[in-house]
Amino acid sequence: MLDAELNSLGLPKAPADTRVVVAMSGGVDSSVVAAELAAEGYDVVGVTLQLYDHGAALAKKGACCAGRDIHDARRVAESMGFPHYVLDYENTFRAAVIDEFADSYLAGATPVPCIRCNERVKFRDLLETAKDLDADCMATGHYIRREAGARGAELHRAADPVRDQSYFLFSTTQEQLDYLRFPLGGLATKAETRALAAKHGLPVADKPDSQDICFVPDGDYAAVIEKLRPGAGEPGEIVHMDGRVLGRHEGVIRYTVGQRKGLGIGGLSEPLYVVRLDAEACHVVVGPRAALATRTVPVAEVNWLGDEPFDARPERPLAVKVRSTKPPLDAVIRPTGPRTAEVELLAPEMGVSPGQACVFYDPEGTRVFGGGWIVR
């Protein structure tokens, strides 16, 4: 099949004969994807997931898939003339994302629920729904690129490094990647997205971006966890790594590795940081900044998107991200099994935390090679 015969989504059909399910959160990004594809003549079906309590969601700003957002997605579909469905995934979302989030925090980890949501809800259950609707592919508003490679679809960082969402999509499997499309990945700036929304006269053209984790109002993780797990805020001791007891705390769930402010142990000769959370002993362990330095990072649940098996080589030089806001670091990945590895950072990194993702990148290019979850 010649490239000239493929449509803009890389499929050998006319747009009118190509059904695309668009995952619509109600925000500007996914709305623009749906509107652009509808304007190109594709057979667009919009689907929005109701992920958590609708009544509570109505009053929550700055989060996706709330009641207001469901309404906004429906308005976009009506304005562009394509069907729109709302699916109740509340029980699925709680079981697959929220419960693990709470349990991970209670265990002293720092989870990333947005990755689990993509992995277990949007790119698994919703993708299967798209196939049930006889869609040829599913499109989302994520800022990441899918490119045709010699051995199938490849995942690449977005053209706009500020908007790049590759850290949150590392667990996308090869099979899912073959079916998914990310039309916004090549845009240079968010301003271009808003200009497209204005061109289509979309009611969400000026809608602010979502900032918080959708089920964590105002970023208050501790309040949410205490609601989900009553008694989770059990008090304990703040302990120096040399064994000294320096004070008391109101629950390990109120602290994160690397935290310096708000420890309530002022008056000491040196600044101290949270270096470890011992949930079993109810200890917040603190120490000097140097104690946060890490060179060896164990990872599990590796999702590998390379062209050969993950454990085909004893080690690989790659770049890795150990948190979403940091640039990639030079590293060597040594597989210890089909889905586990030891990552050696060539320079020490501060505050690497269990529960975060370690995402693998081409050190010379834009390709994303998957990644894994940081474990103790």
Half-sphere exposure of 357 (CA within 13 A, CB side): 26
Exposed/middle/buried for 291, CB within 10 Å: 0-12, 13-18, 19+?
Answer: middle
The active-site residue, picked from 114, 137, 214, 358, is 214
What are the CA-CA distances from residue 222 to residues 106, 232, 263, 355 (Å)?
Answer: 10, 9, 15, 16
Q: Which of 191, 190, 144 is nearest to 169 (CA)?
A: 144
Residue 364: CB atoms within 10 A of its CB come to: 7
| Residue 117 falls in the annotated catalytic set | yes
Q: Which one is catalytic: 64, 117, 137, 358?
A: 117
Burial of 325 (0-12, 13-18, 19+ CB in 10 A): exposed
| Residues acting as catalytic residues | 117, 214
